[in-house]
């Protein structure tokens, strides 16, 4: 199950900035919800959980910019259709009404859409990542805090019949971003490497862009070996890894051993940070790794109309990526293609011949993929299908 984790960009999405470490618990009475408005509710009147006693209630925390939330909504909508009045799914988003109505125009649903723009209900239930499902039984008691793909027709039917049902529990974790490293490391540390089996369910990578560790530290939590190599070789997408293992099943995310990795290099070795990381990985794992160019299908980024991109005024480089929302200042086109590659399923090659640095902003919608290309057109850019030789990382067992 892919997840979106809010605010801090990491390998799977974004991390909540909330300092809270507690949340509602299974077995307690579900706290009342407070929503600004509920879209799709026939009478348009707000609702209290107290009014829904006798039904199974699912509170689904989501966002339109969260890629895995979209199929989850489709899945829950189908359950709502099957169980009708015995089930009520309320999909709660902190986005504004305008954006949610835009979503519903492109992707109609029977689910009630709760608007929580002041975060009052998010604060009470405090999900650390989305999608996030809270299942409430007919008596108003929290039966499970889980993932939407854990909620099946069979399990709902058993709950309605009064049978005991087991759901995969969503674990909580500390929100300190240095979990994978050593929290006691001094900013005066000159050199440090730590690699160990992961003890955290949180998956993220942190690249230090300020302070004493700027440009010389990487902290990673809960990564598989191929994911570690993706970071070390600075690959824009996981799809650029070719795995020639004798037993590839053991490296699939759901089966693989996960690791925490933390590296600090001296100021004088900042330029060699990734090179040193590669050396550490090759020393630690019996894996052969190397780059090879292969001819593959790609998307080529080209200029369609001149003069639409804003040349940067030389301000400091900044980068914000939250799903389909992207904003960067002082960015190169080569680096911009790395963002695009998150959504194209194939490598993106820069053939714009634009050598300046630019201020770039994109706001598109997952539910309407055409908007991805429309946003590019606004900047005078276009993606075209082609074949090119592209570097891939080949991983295989050492004999």
Q: What is the CATH number of the domain that holds 19?
A: 3.40.30.10
Domain extent, residue 279, equals 176-285
Residues 182 and 316 in one domain: no
DSSP 8-state secondary structure symbol assigned to residue 25 = -
Q: Is residue 46 domain-resident?
A: yes
Q: Is residue 2 domain-resident?
A: no
Residues 93 and 218 in one domain: no
Residues 139 and 14 in one domain: yes
Q: Note the pLDDT of residue 399.
A: 76
**pTM for this structure?**
0.75
Helices and strands (DSSP H and E) totals, the chain: 8, 20
Residues 164, 117: contact at Cβ < 8 Å? no
Residues 85 and 26 in one domain: yes
Residues 151 and 259 in one domain: no
Counting the structural domains of the chain, the total is 3
Residues 96 and 33 in one domain: yes
Q: Note the pLDDT of residue 181.
A: 46
Q: Is residue 171 domain-resident?
A: no
Residues 254 and 276 in one domain: yes
Q: Is residue 3 domain-resident?
A: no
Q: Note the pLDDT of residue 44.
A: 66
Q: Is residue 278 domain-resident?
A: yes
- Dihedral sign from CA coordinates of 162, 167, 170, 171: positive
Q: Is residue 165 domain-resident?
A: no
Which parts of the chain have pLDDT scores under 50?
5-19, 21, 175-181
Residues 16 and 143 in one domain: yes
Residue after which a domain boundary falls, among 130, 160, 190: 160
Residue after which a domain boundary falls, among 160, 184, 219: 160
Residues 105 and 129 in one domain: yes
Q: Note the pLDDT of residue 7.
A: 37
Q: Note the pLDDT of residue 78.
A: 96
Residues 291 and 334 in one domain: yes
Q: Is residue 395 domain-resident?
A: yes
Nearest to 37, CA basis, from 96, 122, 85: 96
Residues 137 and 230 in one domain: no
Residue after which a domain boundary falls, among 160, 192, 225: 160
Q: Is residue 166 domain-resident?
A: no
Residues 131, 3: contact at Cβ < 8 Å? yes
Residues 25 and 150 in one domain: yes
Q: Note the pLDDT of residue 202.
A: 82
């Amino acid at each position: 199950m892919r997840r979106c984790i809010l605010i801090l960009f990491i390998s799977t999405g974004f991390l909540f900035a909330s300092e809270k470490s507690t949340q509602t618990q299974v077995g307690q009475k579900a706290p009342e919800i407070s929503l600004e408005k509920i879209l799709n509710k026939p009478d348009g009147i707000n609702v209290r959980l107290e009014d829904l006693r006798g039904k199974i209630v699912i509170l689904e925390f989501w966002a339109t910019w969260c890629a895995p939330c979209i199929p989850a909504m489709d899945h829950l909508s189908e359950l709502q259709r099957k169980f009708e009045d015995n089930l009520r799914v309320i999909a709660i988003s902190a986005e504004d009404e305008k954006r949610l109505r835009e979503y519903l125009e492109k992707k109609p649903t029977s689910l009630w859409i709760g608007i929580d723009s002041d975060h009052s209900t998010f604060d009470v239930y405090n999900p650390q990542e989305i999608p996030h499902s809270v299942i409430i039984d007919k008596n108003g008691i929290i039966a499970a805090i889980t993932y939407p793909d854990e909620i099946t027709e069979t399990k709902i039917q058993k709950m309605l019949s009064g049978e005991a049902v087991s759901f995969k529990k969503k674990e909580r974790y500390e929100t300190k971003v240095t979990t994978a490293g050593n929290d006691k490391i001094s900013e005066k540390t000159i050199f440090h490497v730590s690699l160990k089996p992961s003890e955290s369910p949180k998956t993220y990578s942190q690249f230090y862009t300020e302070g004493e560790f700027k440009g010389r530290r990487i902290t990673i939590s809960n990564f598989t070996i191929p994911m570690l190599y993706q970071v070390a070789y600075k690959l824009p997408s996981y799809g650029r890894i070719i795995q020639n293992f004798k037993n590839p099943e053991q490296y699939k995310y759901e089966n693989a051993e996960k690791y925490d990795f933390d590296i600090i290099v001296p100021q004088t070795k900042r330029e060699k940070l990734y090179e040193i990381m590669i050396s550490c990985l090759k020393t630690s794992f019996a894996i052969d790794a190397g780059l090879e160019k292969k001819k593959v299908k790609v998307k080529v980024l080209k200029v369609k109309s001149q003069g639409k991109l804003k040349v940067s005024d030389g301000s400091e480089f900044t980068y914000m990526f939250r799903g389909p929302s992207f904003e960067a200042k002082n960015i190169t086109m080569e680096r911009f293609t790395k963002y695009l590659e998150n959504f194209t399923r194939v490598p993106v090659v820069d053939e714009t011949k634009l050598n300046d640095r630019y201020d770039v902003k994109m706001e598109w919608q997952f539910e309407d993929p055409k908007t991805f290309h429309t946003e590019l057109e606004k900047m005078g850019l276009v993606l075209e299908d082609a074949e090119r030789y592209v570097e891939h990382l080949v991983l295989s067992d050492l004999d």
